[in-house]
Amino acid sequence: MRIKLPREKRIYYIKTVIRWIIYYIIIILFFSTMNAGTWTKPILLVPAALCIAMKNDVMASAFTGAVCGFLTDVACGKLFGYNAVLLTVFCAAVSLVFELYFRDKFINFFWINAVVSLIQCCLDFEFYYNIWKYDHAEMIFYGITVKVWAYTVISSVFVYLIFKFVNKKLMPREHLTIKEIIDNNRGITQFSKE
């Protein structure tokens, strides 16, 4: 049985609300960055959505993935909803994977982000250029797709640090009762015996 003091509850809610507001401010900032200039830019919203998914529950992650996807569609001039579908699926999966299997480590985030970005970039190239059989489409692949993927992977380090800082300051810590700790430990012991 979890017992929380009213003050503790209040702090929990306030921190959660502020954290989500900051998440969305960062998302809007990344969206603005993606719309600036004419040079090749990283898709910052992909690592941002994955960073949020790593530390939050499935539904919230999926919703944030959809928002980031829609914004990516608008910024990149893609079919409205195309990236939203992709990122919703990826964010929900990442949230589940981190909840059940992976530990919250940078290296886990880094390779998952690399894989997700690669899939997103390759699908983008396939559906928007390669499928239409443009002459010299491989130039787009090497000149833009690979570059965007590399930039996204490199920039994910900074994105991770930003979200880590926000989470460190505003992520409410779980307060377990003694009974919950004993139950958890019992579960782990049984699991290791099996």
Partner 1 sequence: MKSFVKSTRFRILIAFVAFLVGIMIYAVTKGGYSLSAASLINLVTQPVKSVSNSIALEFERISDKIFSPDKYYIENQELKERINELNRKLAEYDDLKAEVEELRKFADMKKEYPELDMSMPAEVLGYVTNDPFKSFNIDKGSADGIEPYSPVITADGLVGMTVEVSERSSTVRTILSPDLSVAAVASSTNADYGIIEGTVLTAADGHTKMSHLSTAHKLREGDLIVTAGNTGMFPKDYPIGTVLSTDFEINGLSACAEIEPCCDITRLSTVFVITDFTGKKEGADENKTAP
List residues binding partner 1 (CB under 8 A): 34-38, 40-41, 43, 75-77, 129, 132, 134-137, 139-140, 143-144, 148
User: CB-wise, 40 or 185, nearer to partner 1?
Assistant: 40
CB of 118 to partner 1, least distance (A): 15
**What backbone torsions phi and psi does residue 15 show, to the nearest 5 degrees?**
-65, -40
CB of 76 to partner 1, least distance (A): 5
CB 122, min distance to partner 1, A: 14
Judged by beta carbon, residue 113 or residue 145, the one nearer partner 1 is 145
User: Minimum distance between the CB of residue 116 and partner 1, rounded to whole angstroms?
Assistant: 17
Angle at 148 between CA 146 and CA 153, to 5 degrees: 95
| In 77-105, alpha helices (H) | 82-100
Q: How far is the CB of 78 from partner 1 (least distance, A)?
A: 9
Burial 56-84 (b: 16+ CB within 10 A, else e): beeebbbebbbbbbbbbbebbebeeebbb
In 98-142 the beta strands, taken as DSSP E runs, fall at none
Read off the tokens for 192. 């290791």
Specify the residue, 79 or 115, whose C-beta has the smaller distance to partner 1.
79
Please state, as a whole number, how many other Cβ atoms lie within 10 Å of the Cβ of residue 107. Answer: 9
Q: Which is nearer to partner 1, 76 or 162 (CB)?
A: 76
Please say which residue, 80 or 165, places its beta carbon nearer to partner 1: 80
